[in-house]
Structure 1
Amino acid sequence: MCGRTGLSLQKEKVQCACSYKPKNYSHYVKPEWLPEYNAGKDYVPSYNIAPTDVTPVLVSSSRFSNVVNCDRVLKPMMWGIIPPWHKGDFKTHNLSTNNCRLENIKSSKLYSPILNSGGRCIIVTEGFYEWQTTNKLSKVKQPYYIYAPQQDGVKIDETDTWNNNFDETTGWRGIKLLCMAGLYHIWQNEETVIYSYSVITMESNETLNWLHHRMPAILSSEEQIEAWLDIDNVKPDMALGYLKPIKLLSWHPVSTAVNNSRNKTTSCNKKILEEDKSKKKTQKTLQSWFVKAEKRKSTDNSDFEPTPKSKKHE
């Protein structure tokens, strides 16, 4: 599954990072950034993007008559598709549409019509968060930040190492983003128009199945990106065939600060050391042992029987 992502780049840098070289072009071009709708919600760079937040999404420009200079555009969209049949307040459809399962898309009442009508998109992120569900002995699910392998010296959680630059000759030279395949839909009522999307997920491969049994469908090559966005020439079944589990990913454990979706700061994707976790656990165990020993000593020297403590409700 995919429940949180991160994207801290400003709008102009996102355009640069999504630059590409069209066929028969000798230089790189940046996708045009289209105006925002989404009930007044704008894209805000964040280290902890949650469902209902608005993020930049790559789509084919063939759906937009006012775009003539490039075949890809960036459109801010809300995470979590609003079903086409929903009426009334867009917040009240009560369906979980943050992710859509690759295996069920073609049979889905919601996603199949969207796929067949050309609603393919790419969600651009610096990384995504996943909580380890495979460790059944742990009471607390450890969160991890997963991202594209970076060049030597570039650290995903240290922005001063990114060296972000762009020019039309060489394209983007900076932080490497992840491109997640998704589906999007345009929903509207009398008052508002909202673009919304879902991230496509699939069964995890050996790269991430130690962490979780699901993973987002990530497009790792220009061929995959081009095919997924080419809704005029690449038919739905062929496009789905380009979605393969990615093998090259990087990750590190992060603090549970990311658990709170209101925490959008740099603390969310900062690497924590496994040895630090073990040390804290050991220190906590030792402290607990000494406290218990002191309580036993106090009880042994007391003339009165201690009053039983009431159990806490978890």
Structure 2
Amino acid sequence: MCGRTGLSLSKEQIQCACSFKSKDCDVYQKPDWLPEHNVGKDYIPSYNITPTEVTPVLISSSKFKHIAKTNRALKPMMWGIIPPWHKGDYKSHNLSTNNCRIENIKTSKLYGPILSGGGRCIIIAEGFYEWQTTVKSKIKQPFYIYAPQDSNVKIDDPSSWNNTFTEEEGWRGIKLLHMAGLYHTWQAEGTIIYSYSVITMESNNTLDWLHHRMPAILDTQEQIEAWLDIDHVDADKALSYLNPVKLLTWHQVSTVVNNSKNKSDNCNKRIESKTTQKTLKSFFTKSAKRKSTEETSEGSKKIKTE
């Protein structure tokens, strides 16, 4: 499952982070940033992105050759596909389309035609949130999950990211997540909205302790290229590239992220686990008692000596 993400980079930084080398070019190219078509909504950097908000989505430029200069493009899209058959207010279709299950994606009345029609995309994020409910407690503990970073980079400290880009070396900065998804163009009475769903699958032993579902994450350039190449890689072949990723990192965060209105960097800040807090509290309590006992003992000895 994937219900919240984080992405704080600017448009220009995201273009740099999604730079790539095509077969006919020796330098890194930045994907075009295509105009938005989302009833006036555009991408706003946020540490707590929720469904119905607009985020940049990486797609093939195949369907936008008239305006795109490179083979890939970034287009702001709304999270949650609007069904093609829906009429009226785009917010009133009453279907949960934030995620689509890979197990029935080909047979789905909604997702099957979109997949076969080349509606493959990649959702860009710095990380996503997932909640854990324990047997002992009904309080859901949020975690922030993200790609492994270089040793000197902290995902919750932008000052450590050292984001740079050159055409010769490409992006040298924070490592982003690339989540496979599907997108669709919905039109009604002159309104055009691009919307997407994140593909999910059964969790492997990397994340099944936290949740039984996880987003389909593309963690190699080969996977990214295949998923985006809608002209030469068919749907079945593209799906074969989707497997539960094993290399992920995570940490506990504050429950401030539970409120979708909270968008600040407090959402993804690392906090100590309750187990660690209890252990430290127990350690210091025992130390204090031990110190007090020792002082009392020393005091008794002095009294006896005197």
Scaled by the length of structure 2, what TM-score is found? 0.90
Name the CA distance, whole Å, in 2 between partners of 1:19 and 1:65.
Answer: 18
Name the CA distance, whole Å, in 1 between partners of 2:25 and 2:126.
Answer: 27
- Which residue is equivalent to 1:139? 138
Gaps of 5+ in 2: 283-306
Gaps of 5+ in 1: 284-314
Residue 37 of structure 2 aligns with an amino acid whose one-letter code is Y
Residue 29 of structure 2 aligns with an amino acid whose one-letter code is V
Provide the secondary structure at the position in 2 that maps to 1:106: coil
**Following TM superposition, by how much is the alpha carbon of 1:279 offset from its aligned partner in structure 2, in angstroms?**
4.2
Tell me if structure 1 keeps the 8 A contact 2:58–2:73: yes
| In the alignment, structure 1 residue 187 sits paired with structure 2 residue 186 | yes
Name the CA distance, whole Å, in 2 between partners of 1:117 and 1:138.
Answer: 45
**Which stretches of structure 1, 4 residues or more, deviate above 3 A after TM superposition?**
275-283
- Which residue is equivalent to 2:293? none
- Which residue is equivalent to 1:312? none
**Following TM superposition, by how much is the alpha carbon of 1:65 offset from its aligned partner in structure 2, in angstroms?**
2.8
Residue 32 of structure 2 aligns with an amino acid whose one-letter code is E
- Which residue is equivalent to 1:162? 161
Distance change >3 Å, CA 194–CA 280, structure 1 → 2 = farther
| In the alignment, structure 1 residue 176 sits paired with structure 2 residue 175 | yes
**Following TM superposition, by how much is the alpha carbon of 1:282 offset from its aligned partner in structure 2, in angstroms?**
7.2
Name the CA distance, whole Å, in 2 between partners of 1:193 and 1:110.
Answer: 18
Name the CA distance, whole Å, in 1 between partners of 2:277 and 2:157.
Answer: 24
Name the CA distance, whole Å, in 2 between partners of 1:93 and 1:278.
Answer: 45
Residue 48 of structure 2 aligns with an amino acid whose one-letter code is N
Name the CA distance, whole Å, in 1 between partners of 2:87 and 2:281.
Answer: 54
- Which residue is equivalent to 2:54? 54
Scaled by the length of structure 1, what TM-score is found? 0.87
Provide the secondary structure at the position in 2 that maps to 1:187: strand
Distance change >3 Å, CA 252–CA 24, structure 1 → 2 = same
> 1:128-277 alignment to 2 at 5 Å?
128-133=128-133, 135-275=134-274
Tell me if structure 1 keeps the 8 A contact 2:82–2:195: yes
**Following TM superposition, by how much is the alpha carbon of 1:28 offset from its aligned partner in structure 2, in angstroms?**
0.2
Q: Which has the larger displacement, 92-101 or 274-283?
A: 274-283
**Following TM superposition, by how much is the alpha carbon of 1:23 offset from its aligned partner in structure 2, in angstroms?**
1.0
**Following TM superposition, by how much is the alpha carbon of 1:211 offset from its aligned partner in structure 2, in angstroms?**
0.4
Name the CA distance, whole Å, in 2 between partners of 1:31 and 1:91.
Answer: 30
**Following TM superposition, by how much is the alpha carbon of 1:137 offset from its aligned partner in structure 2, in angstroms?**
2.2
| In the alignment, structure 1 residue 112 sits paired with structure 2 residue 76 | no
Name the CA distance, whole Å, in 2 between partners of 1:276 and 1:204.
Answer: 24
| In the alignment, structure 1 residue 27 sits paired with structure 2 residue 27 | yes
**Following TM superposition, by how much is the alpha carbon of 1:138 offset from its aligned partner in structure 2, in angstroms?**
1.9
Provide the secondary structure at the position in 2 that maps to 1:223: helix
Residue 192 of structure 1 aligns with an amino acid whose one-letter code is T
Deviations 1:121-150 (A, max 9, x none): 0000000000014x2222101100000000
Residue 246 of structure 1 aligns with an amino acid whose one-letter code is V
Tell me if structure 1 keeps the 8 A contact 2:216–2:244: yes
Q: CA RMSD in A?
A: 1.7
Identity within the alignment, %: 70
Name the CA distance, whole Å, in 2 between partners of 1:281 and 1:106.
Answer: 51
Aligned length in residues: 283
Tell me if structure 1 keeps the 8 A contact 2:144–2:253: yes
| In the alignment, structure 1 residue 18 sits paired with structure 2 residue 18 | yes
**Following TM superposition, by how much is the alpha carbon of 1:4 offset from its aligned partner in structure 2, in angstroms?**
0.1
